[in-house]
Amino acid sequence: MLESFPELEGTAWGRLLGAVLADYPAHADFIGKSFGSCSPAVRETALGTAESIERLVDGRISEVIAGYRWMCGMVLEEELHFRRTGSYRYSRFEDANREVYANAPLMEQYMSGLLLSQVLWSNHLDVFDFYVREFIGQLSPTGRHLEVGPGHGLFLYQAAKRGLKELAGWDVSRTSLDRTAVCLKELGITAPVALEERNVFEPLAAGDRGRFDSIVISEVLEHVERPGEALATLHSCLAPGGRIFVNAPVNSPALDHIYLFQEPEELVELVKGAGFSVEATRFAPATGRTEAKARKARAPISAAVVGRVR
């Protein structure tokens, strides 16, 4: 299948796709659709992302592909539940925490799966390109930056590469934070990054108010019971004029997705309601669909929003 895309030859992206296909040949059609639907700009960003991922999976590619295959199976099972019931399996944080975040081996698999999805799923490719072009490019080197739920670490790495004054990450999962730390180290980040086991709903300390100039929260709001409240908390953590990057999928079942966004506009309204003006949006349908078809079929769409403190 890769022969149809000669531009991938000799690239890290091509090698990663080749390794996945060798292990999981049934995925060829999906990968072809995903690559085929990427714009030239998205492909350019993906080539760089794939180089980072290739370094991160060096010596453990089989384990990472196993994690990816586990994640695809889990998503398929949850998709069947969603189609039958119209809702996600769980709606309470304590269920997601018990089933996923507190389960270290499962969390490891999940982070591996998400890492590979960054170069395999067209919606993740598209949103990452949007993040790099619309958000990262405008960060000031004197800025103080926070990411909530940094997980595999690729988003935080892009910020760390800019040599910002202060970098922090908050996550409820120790396994996830450990994975973030390994990612930053292996990709050559030597500046200190304050990675803290912390729930975004914890009451803020006085020093947290106005502490950051930029905040990223990607693929986290669908994991919380009250996403509007989480955004309002993050608004309080930003200095005047501070910017936020928010990314959450709509109609996207997974074991730990507890808040169902049904339309991308719901997320945009939530960002506005928390006190931000919206500067840019990108709505990226899951691989193989147009946005119109995804909306009609209630299929996943990643909704990304850049906001600024009003």
Ligand X SMILES: C[S@@+](CC[C@H](N)C(=O)[O-])C[C@H]1O[C@@H](n2cnc3c(N)ncnc32)[C@H](O)[C@@H]1O
Q: Which parts of this chain interact with ligand X (CB under 6 A)?
A: 101, 114, 148-152, 155, 170-173, 176, 199-201, 218-220, 223-224
Closest distance to ligand X from the beta carbon of 102 (Å): 10
Closest distance to ligand X from the beta carbon of 40 (Å): 24
Measured from the CB atom, is 32 or 214 closer to ligand X? 214
Residue 248, SS3 per DSSP: strand
Instruction: Give yes or no for a contact between 152 and 120, defined as CB atoms under 8 angstroms apart.
Output: no
Residue 249, SS3 per DSSP: strand
Residues 216, 159: Cα–Cα separation, whole Å: 10
Q: Give residue for tokens 């106005």.
A: 210
Q: Strand pairing partners for 156?
A: none
Measured from the CB atom, is 32 or 167 closer to ligand X? 167
Measured from the CB atom, is 12 or 114 closer to ligand X? 114
Measured from the CB atom, is 5 or 95 closer to ligand X? 95
Question: If we measure between CA atoms, which residue out of 49, 44, 75, 67 comes closest to residue 183?
Answer: 49
Closest distance to ligand X from the beta carbon of 299 (Å): 19
Instruction: Give yes or no for a contact between 255 and 80, defined as CB atoms under 8 angstroms apart.
Output: no
How far is C-alpha 82 from the chain's CA centre?
Answer: 21
Cα angle 113, 41, 288; round to 5: 50
Measured from the CB atom, is 224 or 294 closer to ligand X? 224
Residues ≥6 apart with Cβ < 8 Å to 118: 49, 53, 124, 125, 128, 152, 154
Residue with the CB atom nearest ligand X in the bound state = 151
Closest distance to ligand X from the beta carbon of 7 (Å): 26
Closest distance to ligand X from the beta carbon of 263 (Å): 20
Residue 34, SS3 per DSSP: helix
Measured from the CB atom, is 213 or 219 closer to ligand X? 219
Closest distance to ligand X from the beta carbon of 200 (Å): 4
Closest distance to ligand X from the beta carbon of 115 (Å): 8
Residue 195, SS3 per DSSP: strand
Measured from the CB atom, is 20 or 156 closer to ligand X? 156
How far is C-alpha 121 from the chain's CA centre?
Answer: 11
Q: Which amino acid is at 13?
A: W
